[in-house]
Chains A and B, each alone.
Chain A
Amino acid sequence: MGRRRLRRPDPADAARALPEAIAALSRTLPAAPSPETFRRAKFDHPEAAPALWRLLFRVLSPLPADGASASLALEAQARWVKSALRSQGYPRRALVQLPDDGSQGGRELLLALAWLLARGPLPERLLTQSHVRLGDEIPVCECEALASPGLPAPSVEAEGCVDIRHLQWLMGKLRLQWRNLMASQQEQCALLGKIHSYTRGCHSDRSLGHLSVTETELLRDPEGGRQLLRRLEMENAQLEAALEWRHRELIFWQWMDTVLDACSPEASPLTFLPRIPEPGPGAARLLARELQTLQEELREAAEARRAAWQAVVGGHGPEWRAARRALQTAVAQDLAALQRAWEQDEGRARPHGPRRLVLFFRTRGLWDFSSLSRDQTCTPCTGRSSWQHVGSSVFPAARRTRAHALGARSLSRWTSREALLSIFITTERARMACWLQGTPGGPDAGEGQWSPSSAQTQPPVWDQALPGPGCEQTGAVGAQRVPSPSDLLFSVRGSRFRARRPGAAAPSGRLDRPRAMPEG
């Protein structure tokens, strides 16, 4: 609230400006509640409560409200709002004590809304959520945010004991639903890929090259164009309101002070105290102890075995020991290189948020990368500079692709002879994991050894995304490569691959392929 100190308006102005500020705020919020609601809420009038419960429900729900969730009973919405606020750390106990039927609590709800507004860029978040999407967007997240613990998951205390088989059942159900979801996602990707490839060359913006789903829909249905215009106008109005709200924010906060003053001090403690987790039941401790004993036993057994084994192989002579040492050094070097690459990556800003999905087409039989600069090729819809990569990959099995990957080739140079249809995002980590599992590059994999003959007998079906612009190596390799009849290709940032090749391509093959190990 830095601005509060910067501008200090005249009190006479404030009296006039307050309704305007509140009106601006309400126009910014979803469903635009009437400004009168806010005034009534200050005095805890019951008629303001239902509207505010609904407003908070929409503000707090992570997805743009659809018909199903908006039609929930007020009671359910109120309960949901309470638990969502609680899980976000809202401290006032008075809110939780409100009745569930949603008939009361105007002032408390106003305070909660103000708390949400003060805590972060709420209007901005809501506007991003509801903005009209012209391009096909996919959320991209390569930052560490996912790894950090998020909000505490809402938990339900079960009455009595629960059969573990019931939990396993639910867990299995979740797993199957996850797989269903994934299949649908892949189908969506396939369809998107079709739309992109069939509308290729239709877009007026040549750097995009193809239409998005919304644009294609517009072509089919002119009435849709008018609707889109209306939606854009609405969004514009909301944006203007948000701007105005930012200018008048200070007055609102001064008014909120008076709202807070109007709250009567309560006898009960106002805020939640952090709960100290109870120690688990004795059974868990017992189990833990048992596990520990088992672990110790296992370790002892393993050590005995190892000692015996070493005694056996100890007699194999010096060359075996030398080979082993060489192997150990090689592994240590690889690990260190990997670690360095990983650490270098840590410093970089990782893209996060929705990005427009753009398909690249190959022209004239050669991979035309050098001419594409990062900013030309991909227009990030949020205006951030770097384009994430959109992975493209279509192949299920790392294992088969490994076999097909022409023997030894580094990941970044895999290409597809066929068009690529399905798209999905692999995060940096996932790719790293994939690479660790099995990289087809061997120590003998030289640059540009792509052999057309082997490709003809075994078409490489893996559609590996190519590194994006900025990776000079790829440009060179692409130019050397025999033209393949691929039609399309997704751009991918290749930095990970570059980072992975510190100097030589050597480490990639040895880490995971026992057969490349020196034999003694």
Chain B
Amino acid sequence: MGNGRAQCRRLGQVLAEACAEALPKPRLEARSCAESAKARWTVAHFFEGVCFGLFLSMSIVTVQLGQCGNQIGFEVFDALFNDSHCSRGLCSKRENEAYQASCKERFFSEEENGVPVARAVLVDMEPKVINQTLSKAACSGRWKYGQHSCFCQKQGSGNNWAYGYSVHGPRHEESIMNLIRKEVEKCESLSGFFIIMSMAGGTGSGLGAFVTQNLQDQYSSALKMNQIIWPYGTGEVIVQNYNSILTLSHLYRSSDALLVHENDAVHKICVKLMNIKQVSFCDINQVLAHQLGSVFQPTYSGEGLFHYRRNPLGDLMENLVPHPEFKMLGVRNIPQMSENSLAYSTFTWAGLLKHLRQMLISNAKMEEGIDWQVRPPLSGLPPLGKMSVNKETHFNTSIANLVILRGKDVQSADVGAFKDPALYTSWLEPVHAFSVWKTQRAFRKYEKSAALVSNSQSLVKPLDMIVGKAWNMFASRAYLHQYTKFGIEEEDFLDSFTLLEQVIASYCNL
């Protein structure tokens, strides 16, 4: 059986080399965006709508799955809303309004009494978390979830991926997809789906994989980005590695991009940067929401242009994940600190970008403890030489990077350091691999802030670890019967292993 993993790995490598991944064929798809039966607007109102509609951004429907997904989803909406209604935008009033409108159109829909309603669908198999989430949103009083946008049941999945995927999924497919459809129909124009879920649990990951697959079937031309939460290395669930590989391999087939957050890394950020003594899940989720907000809030659509990007999800994917074998994205933020210390800090763009770049190449998740010894390999070395250098210095090669800058004097920020060809894989020019988005509007209370979304080798190591652990368990057939009981057979596991080995091999051979 130990030989088996080697075999899988070989197979994965062969596949990677052959680049056998066939591009999924685009399919014609039609979609209803809104219903006009109830549209009894006056013509004047309508014109207003059209005028705005042309400049506002395309909407994203968020699907929150499981306990983790729902808790994070709430924090994300809260962060987005609070930021866009934050008084200290450090920009003109008009610009602030455009920013607000853009954010609102993307993530919220207006209800009749003026309270924005999140474009979200909440799904969990236990009512507890959903009820908490709904009441928290209602308590804030500033925004809320839709009245009929949640789905819950009485019984969870017991951390069994197979149960979520093969039992809950098919059983509740219709109700869940109906909820999503209703949400989609509320959008004037749909950009895509943002699916928040954990990777190692039962409901979020199993059902999440199932729902993503269905979305791929039904909305094949809409974009799908999955936000997945990587479990703690010292996990609390014995089968988390099984669940993880099953989730990852299924999402790799049906999703367009996987935005990965590691619990360990975010935990460290909470302890070291935010100075939190007793880190709770709520703190972790807030950091996560902050990172996501800094990526998804509006930015200008181009250098020197002052209107906001209409389809950020589409643009982000176009820049970062066009290749079907490289779909894993990581987010890094700078600066990130508690509000108390923020008051006593000033930043320069040059300093922030220098740190951010070093965080990227040395594969650090936060500003503290960056290894400044890591240098990019000399460009000009043949790819093979480059690889061996990488091994020595743990240099993190990127495929593509997107830097998002928000705040004062953003036009003066120089991102030339990110355009170094040595940072990127040999088969992609920096012109294709690097992009930068900017806006003068400050994000939350940070006068200047930068976020980096990168498609790089940084996730290979944790992925390899998870696959290795899962393989060891699989080799001794541990806990397999819990999966075969619900129709996930050994073959499915082997498929997942092969696919992930291929991903690892592809990322290693950059």
A residues touching B (Cβ–Cβ < 8 Å)? 163-166, 168-173, 175-180, 182-184, 186-187, 190-191, 193-195, 197-199, 220, 393-397, 399-400, 403, 418-422, 424, 426, 430, 434, 461, 463, 485-488
Residues in A whose Cβ lies below 8 Å from that of B36: 193-194, 197, 419, 421, 487-488
Task: Given the known inter-chain contacts A169-B323, A403-B174, please indicate yes or no for A421 contacting B190, CB distance below 8 A.
Answer: no
Residues in A whose Cβ lies below 8 Å from that of B35: 418-419, 421
A430 to B28, CA, bound (A): 8
A186 & B189 in contact (Cβ 8 Å cutoff): yes
B318 & A173 in contact (Cβ 8 Å cutoff): yes
A400 & B177 in contact (Cβ 8 Å cutoff): yes
A190 & B33 in contact (Cβ 8 Å cutoff): yes
Which residue of chain A has its CB nearest to the CB of B16? A165
Q: Which of A191, A393, A434 contacts B53 (CB 8 A)?
A: A191
A426 to B314, CA, bound (A): 24
B218 & A399 in contact (Cβ 8 Å cutoff): yes
B23 within 8 A of A: yes
A183 & B323 in contact (Cβ 8 Å cutoff): no
A194 & B50 in contact (Cβ 8 Å cutoff): yes
B431 within 8 A of A: no
A461 & B324 in contact (Cβ 8 Å cutoff): no
A443 to B409, CA, bound (A): 69
B219 within 8 A of A: yes
A172 & B322 in contact (Cβ 8 Å cutoff): yes
Mask of B62-79 contacts with A, CB within 8 angstroms, 1/0? 000000000000000000
Which of B19, B31, B221, B318 has the largest number of chain A CB atoms within 10 A? B31
A165 to B322, CA, bound (A): 10
A396 to B28, CA, bound (A): 8
- In the complex, how many angstroms separate the beta carbon of A43 from the nearest chain B beta carbon? 45
Tell me the residues in window 6-55 of chain B with beta carbons closer than 8 Å to chain A beta carbons: 19, 21, 23, 26, 28-37, 39, 41, 43, 46-47, 49-50, 53-54
Residues in B whose Cβ lies below 8 Å from that of A194: 36, 39, 46, 49-50
B451 within 8 A of A: no
A163 to B221, CA, bound (A): 28
Which of B256, B426, B427 has the largest number of chain A CB atoms within 10 A? B427
Residues in B whose Cβ lies below 8 Å from that of A166: 427-428
Task: Given the known inter-chain contacts A199-B43, A485-B37, please indicate yes or no for A179 contacting B26, CB distance below 8 A.
Answer: yes
A191 & B50 in contact (Cβ 8 Å cutoff): yes
A461 to B181, CA, bound (A): 10
Given contacts A198-B39, A220-B47, A422-B30, 14 further A-B contacts (CB under 8 A): A163-B426, A163-B427, A168-B21, A172-B324, A176-B223, A183-B191, A183-B222, A191-B53, A191-B54, A195-B50, A396-B29, A396-B222, A397-B219, A421-B36
Task: Given the known inter-chain contacts A176-B314, A400-B181, A430-B28, please indicate yes or no for A186 contacting B33, CB distance below 8 A.
Answer: yes
- Specify the main secondary structure of chain A where it touches its partner: helix
B461 within 8 A of A: no
Residues in B whose Cβ lies below 8 Å from that of A180: 311, 314, 318
B322 & A169 in contact (Cβ 8 Å cutoff): yes
| Nearest 10 pairs of A and B residues by beta carbon | A172-B322, A397-B218, A187-B189, A394-B32, A163-B427, A393-B30, A173-B322, A419-B36, A180-B314, A166-B427
- In the complex, how many angstroms separate the beta carbon of A389 from the nearest chain B beta carbon? 14
Can you show 24 pairs from A to B with CB atoms below 8 A apart?
A165-B323, A165-B425, A170-B322, A173-B322, A176-B223, A176-B314, A176-B318, A176-B322, A179-B221, A182-B29, A182-B221, A186-B31, A190-B33, A190-B188, A191-B53, A191-B188, A194-B49, A195-B50, A197-B36, A198-B39, A397-B219, A434-B28, A461-B181, A463-B32
A194 to B38, CA, bound (A): 12
B322 & A175 in contact (Cβ 8 Å cutoff): yes
B317 within 8 A of A: yes
Residues in B whose Cβ lies below 8 Å from that of A426: 28
- In the complex, how many angstroms separate the beta carbon of B153 from the nearest chain A beta carbon? 21
A422 & B32 in contact (Cβ 8 Å cutoff): yes
A399 & B33 in contact (Cβ 8 Å cutoff): no
Which residue of chain B has its CB nearest to the CB of A220? B47
Task: Given the known inter-chain contacts A176-B314, A176-B317, A191-B53, please indicate yes or no for A421 contacting B34, CB distance below 8 A.
Answer: yes
Mask of B216-228 contacts with A, CB within 8 angstroms, 1/0? 0111111100000
Which residue of chain A has its CB nearest to the CB of B54? A191
